[in-house]
Amino acid sequence: MTTQVKIDKPFPQITLQALSGETVALGQPPERKWQLLVIYRGLHCPICKKYLRQLNDMKDDFEKLHVQIVAVSTDPEDKASKFAADAGLDFEVAYGLGIDQARALGLYISTPLSDAEADQPFAEPGLFFIRPDGGLHFAEISSAPFCRPDLEMIKMGVGVIQEKDYPARGTG
């Protein structure tokens, strides 16, 4: 990792194309919303599909908490489209995150083990929760596909943050 995004500081603004045909601004949630940004490894990752399917099943719960869900990978559009279709995702999926952009977020970068895995380096998983003002409230970065935060705990934590105005932690 070359850098790391800072908790309670503005999230780096990155604009990417989404499968919806719109652009999505990472770190800039829609007005009065929060943004749950989930970086996934790409089409080759079955664990990513399972994780994002679970998140998709929780979409209504997050919408009630005024949270925009965005999934992003370094995959190009065709692979991101196949991934979203295979996983049955019903939230914003962006594609084409550059390796330099991934490094700027503090993500781990992996080289494929074989052509069957991927045809280019890719970002390992990350999860970022961004406030309506664009500040990063919490983050979880992993170096492996099977090390991810429990989505039920994330949902519970988001509720606590919003209900009790719970401050960002880890700022020292």
- pLDDT, tens digit only, all 172 positions of the chain: 346 799 999 999 999 999 999 999 999 999 999 999 999 999 999 999 999 999 999 999 999 999 999 999 999 999 999 999 999 999 999 999 999 999 999 999 999 888 777 888 999 999 999 999 999 999 999 999 999 999 999 999 999 999 999 999 988 7
| 70 vs 36: CA distance, rounded Å | 6
Distance of CA 107 to the CA centre of its chain: 11
CATH class as words, domain 14-162: alpha beta
Contacts 24+ apart (CB under 8 A), 89-92: 89/52, 89/53, 89/56, 90/56, 90/59, 91/55, 91/56, 91/59, 92/18, 92/19, 92/20, 92/22, 92/24, 92/68
DSSP code string of 17-48: EBTTSSEEEET-PSTT-EEEEEE---TT-HHH
